[in-house]
Structure 1
């Protein structure tokens, strides 16, 4: 007898030691699994402190849950989840809002306001940035909040659930984000590390917790399936998720893409425009600001002008090579302040000759003239540009030619150009031989020829784009936005032999009513316009887009009537003293953050090259892929919620000394597995049915028919009887007869042994007992009878 008691004591001590180790080691393995899964975000975010800050939050959350389980004697699951949730609030306060909290870690009303600001900033940053994005404070907060919440669920599944294999579901939710946003870019080492940490977590559980050897085998199989799916599925996703042909952006920013004009239409269609920059100038009416020039028509795109890359310091740029000495010009000084901007291209007025305030190395196109960073991108700051604004007269334009050498790329036409484009151009200029007058006629064709400005018609008509393939459809539909008007006039002018290119940039913007020399440029001011080259004068802007921009005086109907007086551009200098409101700091290459201007991925030689992702489509003004990723995570969370709640309930019952809780767990587990569990049966009848005898042989008949299931162990059958006796003693016997609830884990394993694996999976994911409305036996709900 003493020896049996000693063995029982040793068994209890052994179980306690193993439980203590599991309380520490299992959460540690779960922490490693989350860290491995989070590393997948390296394909979405630039290098920075985002990984460390997120893992600090996750470690505190998981550690708090483990500590609560070690210290709490009763209601351990509830205390664990509560402690983890409280720890999440505390660590988020300390990391992101310490200066507006009480004693660094206690949140206040100001803390909640800061959290709200960070959420809004994070949502805006996600909508505005391209991949890889800069993890600014808003994104870091959203990441820490989201992964911290996932850590609570993962910790509960791993440490409190009797089915810890489900703990991989939240980790899969993390992996799903880069799979959706960047298909095919998920690093294989990340998947392998996540699967390895998952297997380690399962191995640290007691074998009984995962159903013995068969449970381990199933867990290994599940991990292998996860590994293979993560490697094979992303590259096979439909191309609609790939993003390389999805134009658009979020609601509040400009997005970097493969081509500067690919996303322009969606930027114009955004519901909430963002202020891109402000500038002050002495030029009445403001200035057009150019980002890039496009020349090569390729399919449905127009590509930037290639040029010899020459990296040098900003400063003296020099007059453009095409700028003739006899052309009248006005020197203008413009101070530009970038607000929420990130771009490789520097917004510049036409024909800049000097740029001050730009630090670092810059690649300057001497023919354009455009400027971009040698590497990285520019961010908020202030710089001053001096430019020479040409003032050709109609007479000068009429007297010039368009035959200058070295401009063949601006005369080139696609081999498969639709004949309707040249036919339309010839019809428009019929009877006009002068190139300048032909250009004005082409502009008039669009502004007075029955065309309408629409940002939605090209999308609805299926001809949204900028290439030669789109122009024919646009000419037939006669409705589009600046990209279509600019592309059409460029190609039509080229069919007439006039060198033409497209400029991408901004309209002059809105004038400040208080400070007349200051202008504000928003994302709504994004624009594309054609520039035609005239010998001895250079590149001359035209404006074919109706209701947008400013038509130069030299391109109006009145200009076609010869007169002895010069006809300057309407953007003529007035005696206004520039008033710059510069913000400290000069833009420099390599900075990052803020919404992106239309950008171009360029190789070392300065030619266009593709990128991982292009633009982004929108759903209700929000990035479609972000919506899809969040929806997927929400679906996974909803699918896991019943299993998590059932696991927490099971863990609480297993720790309860009340035989009634043990009985309820047996009955609910049987109900989850599809075994007999009717409330109309007595405990004796159910125990015999679970053992496979009597009561119609319910369990044996139902489970055995499925095939491939094991017989319940003798230990499990004994537990059925032990629970039944304890329950009857509690309900009908004396208090002294109630010695507590027996360990029902062997009985639970016996129930699972009578069901096939797919039923066990259904029970874990969608437990029936949570939805059961069967009445309980009132007699079993009574406290034990008094002595």
Structure 2
């Protein structure tokens, strides 16, 4: 008798991987990471990528080893879970573990703390997030968990088509969370991985059938023979053609139809029943919306309503301005708001502002600047200390009413002229992000900035020159020109085109001003928020109560002055209030409120509705006309309709191609193809096709409970039994067109025996595309027999 140790050694020595497991595991790992490529727009790339790769690779390797040892599916999943826990523990919590991989109570506590840290980053941060330890732990752990799931679907259940749905959903999630430009390279990479999995799985099934393993009815048919009863011919390219067809349809949808569709996430503008905010500079579509609605009511103790900021954008190191990220503290802590630090002699004006949310659902609260205290907000809201913006853990702004206290620096014109905004030997305060300039910025823009400001004696005068130039006769406000000209964002190319065409709207004025300020050697950033709104014109109305409309979404630049802080400007022509500070010798002159530009004696106050009808545009184009043109443009709706048609028709087309391939194989003496055709037809109408049921039992159930042709089902049963148990194997019993005709007649009878709703579902969304005959899911159907026919 052999000892247990000898048995174990013998078992290990006889280990061999199942055919194709290594290829499928590698392909699934590649598909998983291809689906995670869009995550780079949400989380900055760092070592979390390597950690996630190590965890996922160990999970897939464990699956291959366990299946090579012929461990049952449940045992494989358990082993993968154990390796998953050990890998995460070793990578992140080895200091609290036994032998580096065995977690302890301290390990669990550390893991819970890491999860809480990751949740805080996600709830209070803005994309792209910095991958701190907690977020890296969660990503690596979730990647390993997804690896276990996809390993089960692809290698255990052998349903790569079903797994592809998960891969696509995973790749879409970051785009939904942070809308951005379509990435064709990432899409093509994922499509290649998915098609590789489908093609590999199909080829393995064909090889299995050719080898006669198993003797039960195979899932996929074998290649036809060259002659009746002869050796099989080389496999046809039908599977490759099918994969190429799926890829072609997907490319058409992604590259042609998708660009015509509206952005998937509601933005700062009109978002259906409510308005929502996306802290980015992609405001064009929202400002062109024809529907305007009240979003806020503002009551202020100041002489006028303030600008309300939502987010600041400082990072312009890449193609676009990116929202600021950083640590956040709950607003209920008094220490969450830093002191407003200004030079001696700079006046601080204390103002109280109450904001009532009317129709806004957002994670970001509109607030004046600089916030020093907040009342009536719960612990779910936090303040980002670096920019004093307020962000929440969920979209809970609807119905909020809160009070903001601000201390606004109010320098005189002499004081701000004496202050410097220029960076000298790196001594200027502020983040390096607020001074970075992309290498792709043309030299002509820097030359233009210096030419416009060449006559300025101080930094403040130079910025006033820029502001006046943008608001002067050379520029035209237009919501339509950027779209017609092919630029509708804040990138370098759009700024260059805007400065050439001299037509655009707030994001172009603000981003161009901020970039030119940096080229002059100053710290600058862009702010997204709302204009001050409009006071009620009714007699007896509260003069300090203002209503803010969704069309008053706005963007403006800020420049940092030493000893004063961030000073706003508004270069957008015809909108907002241009910045101007009063001289100390003129006590009756208005001064800036600090959180918004203000008027001066030289610049009249224009109307402030960015999508209103009274805009200062020299070419006669108004925002109302732009909105009407956008509303009349049928392309988005036509694109959406075509996308729905294509999406609805893809499963049906794939089903037709698959059935044609099976019938073609049946016509070439493949009995298994004809029987698979009938099995999949049964699955489509809701019948169970368990692996334990013999062909004769299945045929008896069909003929007893459904009006299928007895001669047809009898012919198919005889053919599959001879093919399965006879000497000739799966071929050698050629019936000409009799087998495919019999299979088609059985499917027609099955479709006719079920209700119309089930019939349409079987045609438009065949269940057999995801559920294979004999799989664990095919045997779990609750519909069978006469019950399905009712």
Structure number with bigger Rg = 1
Report the TM-score when normalising by structure 2. 0.46
Report the TM-score when normalising by structure 1. 0.46
Higher relative contact order (CA 8 A, sep 6+): 1
